[in-house]
Homo-oligomer: A and B are copies of this chain.
Amino acid sequence: MKIYRANILFTPTPDAFKILERGFVMVDSEGFVSGVFSELPQEYCSLPVDDFGDSLLIPAMNDLHVHAPQYRNQGMAMDLELLPWLKTYTFPEEAKYTDTGYAEMMYRCFVRDMVTHGTMRASVFATIHPEATKLLADIMNEVGMGGLIGLVGMDTDCPDNLRNSTSEAVDGTLCLLEHTKDMTLISSIVTPRFVPSCSVDMLTQLGRTALEYGLPVQSHLSENKGEIALVKRLFPDSSCYGAVYDRFGLFGQTPTLMAHCCYTDGKELQLMQKNNVFVVHCPTSNCNVGSGIAPIRKFLDAGLPVALGSDVAGGHHLSIFRVIQYAVQMSKLIYAQTDGRTPFLSLSEAFYLATKSGGSFFGKVGSFEPGYSFDALVIDDSYLSTLNSQLSPLVPELAEELTSPYTLQERLERYIYLGDDRQIVRRFCQGREVVL
């Protein structure tokens, strides 16, 4: 049993933060929260407390869509169109992962950078290469973060050096499952790249594999109009893009993540509702790639589960805090473009997507309610919250006046909009400290 003390903020529901000023959280020996208290109950008063002082203690971030082998391309060629960007940058980079030395080096950087920015769980696209993908699992496991890793299946309309056969994709996915079976927090996820890069045989076999082994599924859906038109040409009988995945058992038959959904509506939306398919909202990527703005309010109103994803390298940054910020901002643009008829996301709603909603894909993750995995970040925002460190050398006699002038929620918001990895001083995944 461990007891931590700090300013605790989390979102049991999307509508508001639960805030405990200098509160306590108790974590059991398995790494799960056993209670959160404003005052420590009498029976625990003799136990040692790990006190984080005036820092903020919040659930860690969950990144539900990220391409590990695109790490090197972060923030690069963000002024190209999607297709030249894929052909010039993405595919040549992914092809390098046939070299396990290169893969190990880059995956170590990628994982360390994810953890640096506060992500403790991620659902990751790897490449078609089984050895490199196992290395990624090893590295994530070694660091102590949690995640689902997808060996990518792709056999259509792609470079020859990035093509695998159906059996290679299936075998690779199952090998990874076997490889990770003793890793507490890491497993394999079925990952067809997206409909246009998969043959019918690939989709069929991956769908069967998901069902047979009870594996989750991740892919891309309705990211841009050209892609949607292409899927319509490839599968003219399907009522919508999502229905293609559905036909192959890849759309909620097991827990399923669909990234983007910028243009999901009508039948596709109904099918996602019926099958409880997750929308993974990737607003930084949608801006960078020029896809459009996903109608998140509509999805929330429809009761769909929604998570956030960095989508590096379509997204330029691994920080899910930045993605929270863009999620609010994009919802404000929709608000403007619908003359105020579409309510924008509140901070607590966007935070909920990044924590409890996204975390639910991994089990009881993303909240500090009893029974939840203690995935947490300690944020020392003193630089941002008191201005003291800036002021003391300047106007010492006035600095005191401003000590902690912000509410705890304002401090968290300012951290999200103004802070960076410098302020994340401790990281926990399922109760265990993750050290850089």
The chain A residues found within 8 Å of chain B, CB to CB, are 72, 74-79, 101-102, 104-105, 108-109, 112-113, 224-225, 287-293, 316-317, 325, 328-330, 332-333, 335-337, 339, 344-347, 350, 387, 390-391, 394-395, 398-399, 401-402, 405-406, 410, 413-414, 416-418, 420
Given A224-B336, A335-B290, do A317 and B75 touch, yes or no (CB 8 Å)? no
Quick one: given A75-B413, A78-B347, A316-B417, are A109 and B391 in contact (CB under 8 Å)?
A: yes
A288 and B337 contact, Cβ closer than 8 Å, known pairs A105-B391, A394-B105, A394-B108? no
> Which B residues touch A74, using CB under 8 A?
414, 417-418
Give me 7 A-to-B residue pairs in the complex whose CB atoms sit less than 8 angstroms apart, sorted by A's number. Answer: A78-B325, A101-B395, A104-B398, A105-B391, A287-B332, A288-B329, A290-B335
A75 touches B416 (CB 8 A): yes
Instruction: Verify A417–B317 contact, CB threshold 8 A.
Output: yes
Cβ distance A29 to chain B, nearest Cβ, rounded Å: 31
Q: How far is the CB of A253 from chain B (nearest CB, A)?
A: 31
A290 with B108: CB separation less than 8 A: no
Contacts of A102 in B (CB 8 A): 398, 401
Task: Tell me whether B410 and A289 are in contact (CB under 8 A).
Answer: no
In whole angstroms, what is the CA distance A343 to B17 when docked?
Answer: 41
Determine the distance from Cα of A291 to Cα of B395 in the docked complex, in whole angstroms: 37
Most chain B beta-carbon neighbours within 10 Å: one of A287, A293, A316, A398: A287
Contact B414–A76 (Cβ < 8 Å): yes
Closest Cβ of chain B: how far from A296's Cβ, in Å? 13
Chain B residues near A345: list those with CB within 8 A: 79
In the assembled complex, the Cα of A289 lies from the Cα of B290 at a distance in Å of 21
- With both beta carbons as reference points, the residue of chain B lying nearest to A350 in the complex is identified as B79
User: Residues of B contacting A224 with CB < 8 Å?
Assistant: 336
Partner of A410, one of B76, B316, B398: B76
Using A109-B391, A394-B105, A395-B108 as known contacts, say yes or no to A79 and B344 having CB atoms under 8 A apart: yes
Residues in B whose Cβ lies below 8 Å from that of A405: 72
Residues in B neighbouring A398, C-beta threshold 8 A: 101-102, 104-105
- State whether B328 touches A78 (Cβ < 8 A): yes
A78 near B399: Cβ-Cβ < 8 Å: no
Whole-angstrom CA separation of A344 from B243 in the bound complex:
33
Q: Is A395 a contact partner of B105 (Cβ separation < 8 A)? A: yes
Task: Known A105-B391, A394-B108; judge A347-B316 contact (CB<8 A).
Answer: no
Q: How far is the CB of A388 from chain B (nearest CB, A)?
A: 10
A-B complex: 10 closest residue pairs judged by Cβ atoms: A75-B417, A290-B332, A287-B329, A316-B417, A292-B336, A75-B414, A75-B418, A105-B398, A105-B395, A79-B346
